[in-house]
Amino acid sequence: MTVAKVEGFCDPKFSKLGDIFSKSIKSGFDDGAALSLEIENEVVIDMWGGFKDIEHTEDWTEDTIANVFSVTKAMTATCALKLLEEKKINLGDRVTRYWPEYDCKSKGDTSIKDFFTHRAGMFGFQEPLPYECWEDWDLIVNQLAKQEPFHVPGTAQGYHAMTFGFLLGEIIKRVDGRSVGTFFKEEIADVFDIDFKIGLDESEFERCAEMVMQSAPINVINFFRRIPRWLLPSRIRAIGDTLSSAEYRKAFIEIVQDDQNLRSVTDFPNSPQWRKGEIPAANGHGTARGVAKFFGILSNGGARDGKKILDQETIDLATTEFTAGPDKVLLQASYKFGLGYMLDAPFSPIGYKNTMFGHTGIGGAAGFGDKVNKIGFAFVNNRQHSLGKLYKSANDLTKALYKAL
């Protein structure tokens, strides 16, 4: 049996985080993972360990990158926020000012702010996409432009799990001319040496951790459908209602055309099509060091070494609450969002303190900043756990972090 190794360094002040991380790897709870923490622009933790592959034959190394899923939304939102700061777009603008084809099926009044805040009513695809579509940007955004919204835009919050990045990304592309992946690379990643990419070259595949995903919860959904609602506690009933809802299925399950849609959930994150495509809500790949640095810069005024991501004024605006649940897609829970950033996400570390902003990923990753405590934090991993344990590692690390401050 191959023994999992843990490497890197941890400032003694934050040794409890190092202990928690090491235990999660050596116990086998996390197959492979990395942890990074910045405080006031200084890296105080940079650790990695475990295995990057499903068979446990390859060690997770210092430069292993992992798919952080929806943590990517924070990077995509930041690209759009740069355009907002430069007054190339405005929150109150209608989407159709930049994307005329979007003006159909009662979507004409949708605002740029609706795209930022999961209120566009476009949280899924009315018709599932071809299975190998991820590299065909135009096919995806054209389908979104033509479809009917699931509710009147601007009237409710419904988490745009996959569509957030395509919608906001098309605005970025039409205004700037560059794709989200290229914009992020040229304007942020290359400038600040942040190891994070939206859309990989094949040469990067060997660095990728293999994602170990849970199957889509069809069996759980069927279980809830068989049990009378009155037998379930109210909290469990709410979860069951959500997992059984059309909104949840459209946002998370009925995404691609596949005879075995369950299989697609576990397979597509490791496919070449998924890795190479630009999926700005869900397929960003990076190191924990890169994600922590990104949030660390934003938490320290938006600039470092004389170079700027965003002005403090823009960061303050983007981390102001613009919308809160009940969320039509996410368990009817009171998720709170700024402009693309999560401010409070039940069951996850985001919102543990009201000074936090960031995003979680459905695989268990989390990245956040804290403007008051000047923090940049990231935990990235490759094994997705069940709902109750999905963010266990990130939650435990976050609690230990704030106790250590």
Determine the Cα–Cα distance for residues 15 and 34; give it in Å rounded to an integer. Answer: 15
Q: pLDDT tens, 335-385?
A: 999 999 999 998 899 999 999 999 999 999 999 999 999 999 999 999 999
| Both structure tokens of 187 | 């304007």
The kind and range of the H/E element at 67 are strand 66-67
| Both structure tokens of 22 | 């090491």
For residue 396, the one-letter residue type is D
Cα atoms in the Cβ-side hemisphere of radius 13 Å centred on 352:
23
For residue 59, the one-letter residue type is D
Q: What values do phi and psi take at 381, rounded to 5? A: -150, 175
pTM of the model: 0.92
| Structural domains of the chain, with CATH | 6-64+282-404 (3.40.710.10)
Under 8 Å between Cβ of 371 and 296: no
Per-residue pLDDT of the chain (405 residues; tens, 9 = 90+): 678 999 999 999 999 999 999 999 999 999 999 999 999 999 999 999 999 999 999 999 999 999 999 999 999 999 999 999 999 999 999 999 999 999 999 999 999 999 999 999 999 999 888 767 888 999 999 999 999 999 999 999 999 999 999 999 999 999 999 999 999 999 999 999 999 999 999 999 999 999 998 755 444 444 434 444 444 444 444 555 555 566 655 655 556 655 444 444 456 789 898 999 999 999 999 999 999 999 999 999 999 999 999 999 999 999 999 999 888 888 778 899 999 999 999 889 999 999 999 999 999 999 999 999 999 999 999 999 987 899 999 999 999 999 999
Determine the Cα–Cα distance for residues 32 and 52; give it in Å rounded to an integer. Answer: 6
Cis ω for the linkage preceding 326 (within 30 of 0) = yes
Under 8 Å between Cβ of 350 and 359: yes
Under 8 Å between Cβ of 345 and 368: no
Under 8 Å between Cβ of 285 and 67: yes
Residue 32 β-bridge partners: 50
